[in-house]
Amino acid sequence: MIGNHVSPVEVSPNREPDEQYKELLHRIRTKGRRAISGMDEGSVEVLGHQMVFNFEEGGFPVITERDLTRGTTPEIIANFQPNPEHRAIKGALYQGFAEVIAFMNGARTQEELERYGCKFWKPWTSDAAKAAKRGLELGDLGHGSYGAAFHDFPNPEDPSQPFDQYKALIAQINNRPELRTHIITPFIPPYLFRAPGYEQKVLIVPCHGIQHFNIDVENREMSLVHWQRSADVPIGLPFNMANYAAMLMMVAQVTGYKPKELVYQVSNAHMYNQHTEIVDELLSRPAFKSPILKLDPTVQRLEDFRVEHFSIDEYEAHPPIDMGGTAV
């Protein structure tokens, strides 16, 4: 039963992922300002928020207020048939892992995403009117999308040879781990702006993905500072948090470091008005112990990871919540 009250949030001393997530929800619910983005009927937002997830103390940052391994849109549940080479994908969380792997390898179309096991972009990639407005083929996320930026960033030195950011990242970490320039960006500015004289060449401007990897050479530890421009906190943010925690683990594994901390920063954190009761319900649910994410230790190249190399263990969570036709 969805409640209609705002539950107080008690922050535990060990700063478990659930506690930090609920602290942000509570801040938006009680202190958020009204906002109109042009694409919704109303929302409330706060600016500037940081969470720090310590892998040794807090476990893997997957929230337990709703089960992220079950449920996605009813259409996707009905139609999703994972590639035979993948394990049976358990709902949206595993599709999230497939998404980040696909983008890392340069996927920018619905067909390419589905090869890696991710189908939840279909509601956007099947929007013919938006594709036409952006001058894109149906199913194409565009020149300024995550996969295009990560894997095929425009190279002014040699336009015929796009720049693979993750390939360069791994090479630099292996050769100069002490540097403070281990940076990945999803943003290609010329493709993002909408104004007279500017043409947006991406279906949806990337919401997340600025990554700054930091190496403690002496202790062989790696941390990741991640920045997100826009976060739908009740729905999308839990998957974003898990995806970049997984990214930290993957990069650490293939470069020989131990993952330490994910520092997660959000510029604009918001919730839509129609999700008010859902947020109250999430705040009222007690958290369970954080689960453990295991990676296949035999994978030694970043581009070789696939969703079957991920396993969530010891995950206890509350049932999914129906968010207006989407059980997540």
How many angstroms separate the CA atoms of 164 and 105, rounded? 9
Residue 114's pLDDT is 95
Confirm whether 261 is domain-assigned. yes
How many angstroms separate the CA atoms of 65 and 249, rounded? 23
Task: Please report, rounded to a whole number, the percentage of residues in the chain having pLDDT higher than 70.
Answer: 86
Confirm whether 308 is domain-assigned. yes
How many angstroms separate the CA atoms of 128 and 204, rounded? 13
How many angstroms separate the CA atoms of 114 and 91, rounded? 14
Confirm whether 324 is domain-assigned. no
162: burial class by Cβ within 10 Å (0-12, 13-18, 19+)? middle
Confirm whether 256 is domain-assigned. yes
CATH number of the domain that residue 222 is part of: 3.30.572.10
Half-sphere exposure of 292 (CA within 13 A, CB side): 6
Q: Which of 109, 118, 121 is nearest to 82 (CA)?
A: 118
Give the three-class secondary structure for 103: helix
Residue 120's pLDDT is 87
Confirm whether 69 is domain-assigned. yes
Q: Domain range for residue 188? A: 17-83+164-313
The pTM score is 0.89
Q: What secondary structure, in 3-state letters, does 256-283 show?
A: CCEEEEEEEEEEEEEEEHHHHHHHHHHH
Contact predicate 25/234, CB 8 Å:
yes
Residue 320's pLDDT is 87
Could you say which residues of the chain have pLDDT below 50? Answer: 1-14, 72-89, 325-328
Q: What is the DSSP letter of 140?
A: B
Residue 39's pLDDT is 61
Q: Torsion angle of alpha carbons 236, 237, 240, 241, nearest 10°?
A: -150
Residue 36's pLDDT is 79
Confirm whether 262 is domain-assigned. yes
How many angstroms separate the CA atoms of 22 and 145, rounded? 30
Residue 80's pLDDT is 36
Confirm whether 106 is domain-assigned. no
Number of domains in the chain: 1
Confirm whether 22 is domain-assigned. yes
